[in-house]
């Protein structure tokens, strides 16, 4: 009997939205051979793997021909959540590739360990105000398709999945249902995730993350003024540059020739801005150890800081990149997704990621406007830290050490 692969049998969509309003002041199937791992230890192992995966994925994206000279912004956490959720329905070599690509050591972590670790991570994130942050997954299942109840239960319990029955042969209606869900979860930041769906689709699994950070001390809007951002040695663009003189945590990494600015939110989250002398050197070298070192050894002193206001959007199809990272079988006729259903041969059609980032002066709450201290020190030299050339950005959870978002700003005026 001739084998026919359903090219659009399973779609994985990964999406994220981030709003940063204001700015900062100083604030210091299961693998039978795997060993049982204590919950705390497995969460730590998954967290370490997530951080390594974040920069590996960043390097792949930055090296891609389509991104040369362009802004990059994505949520490694959202990608990890979606692929980990998929691995719960994978078996054999397909599951091994997913775990290996995500950095999970199969001799230390079972699928159950991975599921529990992500449950802990998402539960902690969702304990914050839903207006500030929310994370989870959703699964849209064709009404003719019958996945295993056990798989759906893992998605619900460990990955906080919402479940919906749709008729994918009604392509417009099913696309509208997905888009409305995404728009609601990202507070309208991502309004149209899908243009259309293939009528042969039987399941869409998506991961979302929405984060709204209120700066500990906002910039004063009256101090924002038109300035210049240097795209390279010759090209320049006009930007609205925010400015504040205050005490900041800063680290200068001599080995990378990079200035690092720490801007905490009114939460356990922070934004790190990295201003390198050479972007390529920073991108090729940066790893979780650098971030840990910077946060540990930062010094506090008064700086005159300038950061541009900007809004960017990004969209990536990650198939080729994930294949390069060793996760190839899920896209081919070798895909083993029998933990989802054995009724049909399933294959992943695409993994798509969308993200947005908005940065401005205003705090999201009234308390964010308090404690603004701008002092003119006429007789003291105040060093200047001005982000008027390409820089990198990381949104990190200081308590967990995890990275919600990573990107680079090559041109603040380029929305896409």
pLDDT-derived band at 150, boundaries 50, 70, 90: very high
On whether residue 1 sits in a domain, the answer given is no
* 10 confidence band (pLDDT: 50, 70, 90): very low
Q: What is the mean pLDDT of the chain?
A: 80
Condensed to tens digits (0 to 9), the pLDDT of residues 396-410 reads 887 777 888 899 999
Let me know whether 299 and 153 are in one domain. Answer: no
Note whether 19 and 214 are within 8 A (CB): no
**pLDDT tens-digit series, residues 313-338:** 888 888 899 999 999 998 888 888 88
Handedness of CA 319, 324, 325, 330 (dihedral sign): positive
> Residue 90's domain is classified under what CATH number?
3.30.497.10
Count of structural domains, the chain = 2
Structure confidence at residue 87 (pLDDT)? 94
Output the domain CATH number for residue 303.
2.30.39.10
What pLDDT shows up at residue 111? 94
Average pLDDT score over residue span 334-348:
83
Residues in Cβ contact with 150 at an 8 Å cutoff, skipping those fewer than 6 apart: none
Residue 188's φ and ψ, nearest 5 degrees, are 80, 0
Please tell me whether residues 114 and 190 are part of one structural domain: yes
Q: What is the pLDDT of residues 230-278, one digit of tens each?
A: 998 889 999 999 999 999 999 999 999 999 999 888 777 888 999 999 9
Lowest mean pLDDT across 66-75, 133-142, 219-228: 133-142
Annotate 155-167 with b (16+ C-beta within 10 A) or e (fewer): beebbbbeeeebe
In a domain? residue 2 = no
| Of 15-19, 92-96, 253-257, 288-292, minimum mean pLDDT range | 15-19
Are residues 375 and 352 located together in one domain of the fold? no
166 in the same domain as 103? yes
Q: Is the domain of 187 the same as that of 149?
A: yes
Same domain, residue pair 271 and 221: yes
The winner for highest mean pLDDT among 53-62, 100-109, 307-316 is 53-62
Q: Is the pTM here over 0.75, yes or no? A: yes
The more confident residue out of 239 and 19 is 239
> Looking at residue 317, what is its pLDDT?
83
Indicate the burial class of 348 (C-beta count within 10 angstroms; 0-12, 13-18, 19 or more): buried
In a domain, 416, yes or no: no
155, 301: one domain: no
Residue 198 confidence class, pLDDT cut points 50, 70, 90: confident
Gap between the Cα atoms of 113 and 110, Å rounded: 5
Q: Which residue has the higher pLDDT, 177 or 315?
A: 177
What pLDDT is stored for residue 233 in this prediction?
A: 86
Q: Determine, yes or no, domain membership for 233.
A: yes
As a three-state string, the secondary structure of 188-226 is CCCCCCCCCCCCCCCEEEEEEEEEEEEECCCCCHHHCEE
Query: Which is more confident, 257 or 365?
Result: 257
Distances (CA, A) of 382 to 61, 81, 258: 37, 43, 19
pLDDT score recorded for residue 3: 24
Q: Is the pLDDT score of 222 beyond 70?
A: yes
Question: What is residue 374's predicted lDDT score, i.e. its pLDDT?
Answer: 19
Q: Are 225 and 308 in contact (CB under 8 A)?
A: no
On the question of pLDDT at 50 being above 70, the answer is: yes
Q: List the one residue out of 167, 170, 166, 137 whose CA is nearest residue 152.
A: 137
Query: Is there a contact between 159 and 126 (Cβ–Cβ < 8 Å)?
Result: no
**107 and 156 fall within a common domain:** yes
The least confident of 73-87, 138-152, 343-357 is: 343-357
5 is a domain residue: no
The residue range of the domain holding 200 is 10-213+312-357
392 & 274 share domain? yes
- 4 occurs within a structural domain: no
- The 10s digit of each residue's pLDDT in 110-122 is 999 999 999 998 8
User: What 8-state DSSP symbol labels residue 407?
Assistant: E
Judgement on whether residues 209 and 228 belong to the same structural domain of the protein: no
Cα–Cα dist 259/247, whole Å: 15
Q: Could you tell me if 14 and 94 lie in one domain?
A: yes
pLDDT digits (tens, 9 = 90+) for 387-396: 999 999 998 8
Instruction: Judge contact between 72 and 314, C-beta under 8 A.
Output: yes
Q: What is the pLDDT of residue 5?
A: 27
Q: Tell me: pLDDT of 362 over 90.
A: no
Higher pLDDT, 406 or 36: 406
Same domain, 289 and 327: no
Q: Binning pLDDT at 50, 70 and 90, where does residue 13 land? A: low
| Position 16 in a domain | yes
Q: Is residue 84 part of a domain?
A: yes
Higher pLDDT: 325 or 14? It is 325
């Amino acid at each position: 009997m001739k084998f026919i692969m359903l090219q659009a049998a399973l779609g994985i969509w990964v999406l994220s939205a981030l709003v940063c309003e204001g700015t900062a002041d100083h604030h210091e199937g299961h693998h039978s051979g795997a060993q049982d791992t204590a919950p705390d230890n497995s969460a730590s192992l998954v967290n370490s793997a997530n951080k390594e995966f974040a920069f590996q994925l960043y390097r792949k994206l930055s090296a891609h021909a389509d991104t040369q000279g362009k802004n990059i912004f994505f949520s490694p956490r959202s990608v990890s959540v979606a692929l980990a959720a998929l691995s719960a329905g994978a078996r054999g070599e397909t599951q091994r590739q997913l775990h290996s690509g995500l950095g999970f050591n199969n001799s230390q972590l079972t699928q159950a360990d991975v599921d529990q670790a992500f449950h802990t991570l998402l539960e902690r994130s969702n304990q914050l105000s839903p207006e500030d942050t929310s994370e989870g997954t959703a699964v849209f299942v064709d009404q003719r398709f019958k996945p295993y109840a056990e798989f759906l239960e893992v998605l619900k319990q460990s990955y906080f999945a919402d479940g919906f029955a749709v008729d994918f042969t009604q392509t417009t209606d099913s696309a509208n249902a997905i888009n409305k869900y995404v728009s609601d979860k990202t507070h309208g930041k991502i309004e149209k995730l899908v243009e259309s769906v293939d009528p042969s689709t039987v399941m869409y699994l998506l991961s979302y993350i929405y984060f709204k950070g209120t700066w500990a001390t906002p910039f004063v809007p009256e101090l924002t003024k038109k300035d210049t951002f240097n795209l390279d040695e010759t090209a320049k663009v006009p930007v609205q540059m925010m400015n504040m003189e205050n005490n900041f945590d800063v680290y200068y990494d001599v080995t990378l020739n990079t200035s690092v600015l720490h801007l905490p939110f009114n939460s356990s989250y922070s934004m790190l801005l990295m201003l390198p002398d050479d972007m390529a050197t920073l991108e090729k070298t940066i790893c979780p150890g650098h971030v840990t070192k910077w946060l540990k050894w930062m010094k506090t002193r008064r700086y005159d800081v300038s950061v541009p206001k900007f809004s960017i959007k990004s969209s990536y199809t990650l198939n080729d990149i994930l294949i390069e990272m060793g996760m190839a079988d899920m896209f081919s006729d070798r895909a083993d997704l029998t933990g989802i259903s054995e009724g049909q041969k399933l294959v992943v059609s695409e993994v798509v990621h969308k993200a947005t980032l908005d940065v401005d002066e205003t705090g999201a709450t009234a308390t964010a406007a308090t404690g603004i201290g701008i002092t003119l020190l006429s007789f003291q030299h105040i060093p200047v830290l001005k982000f008027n050339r390409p820089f990198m950005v990381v949104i990190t959870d200081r308590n967990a050490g995890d990275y919600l978002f990573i990107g680079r700003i090559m041109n603040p005026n380029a929305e896409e």
